[in-house]
Amino acid sequence: MSKSIKFVSYFALLLLLSVFIVFLVNLFETKKESFQEKKLPQQEISTFDGQVYDFNSLPNNEFYMINVWATWCINCKLEHGFLMQKKEEGWNIIGLNYKDNMEKASKWLSQYGNPYSLNLYDKNGDYGFNLGVSGAPETYLVKKGKVLQRHIGIMTDKVWNDKFISLIKK
């Protein structure tokens, strides 16, 4: 094989390897997303008890989280320990069960623990659509009826510290 063919082969291999590495880094890196504060959708949504819930009934002066989850969501199970930890720290977390089966969801919470102070059921994803949900898991930081931050994906201590703490300390 001539030197030029070897060089081109090595260069092509190096280029392909570089593209693959960039792809992997982007796949696992927490996405930096721009987010603009917005009001929570004011529409009816039911609780697991079948009651109609009104977000206006939440205290205006407190931060709380809305966590979008489902039993079919593998990543929801991975972040569950983080949510249980936040519950232990006294955080008010509202669970939005998204496009799921309520019976399965209730069993799931009984089995793994319930980090939520309130469980809402969004069977068809209508509330989630108006909130801007793209899938599960997603977590929203809310105060005074406004969404201050959103995270798409698994909540971790790193995500909490990078995206949420600065808004809470303001």
Which ranges constitute the DSSP H helices of 122-164?
Answer: 126-131, 157-159
> So where are the chain's domains?
1-30, 32-168
Residues 46, 130: Cα–Cα separation, whole Å: 15
Give the separation between CA 94 and CA 106, rounded to whole angstroms: 14
Tens-digit pLDDT string for the chain (170 aa): 677 777 666 655 665 665 556 555 555 554 445 567 889 998 889 999 999 998 777 767 789 999 999 999 999 999 999 999 999 999 999 999 999 999 999 999 999 999 999 999 999 999 999 999 999 999 999 998 899 999 999 999 999 999 999 999 87
Global pTM? 0.78
Domain 32-168 classification at class level? alpha beta
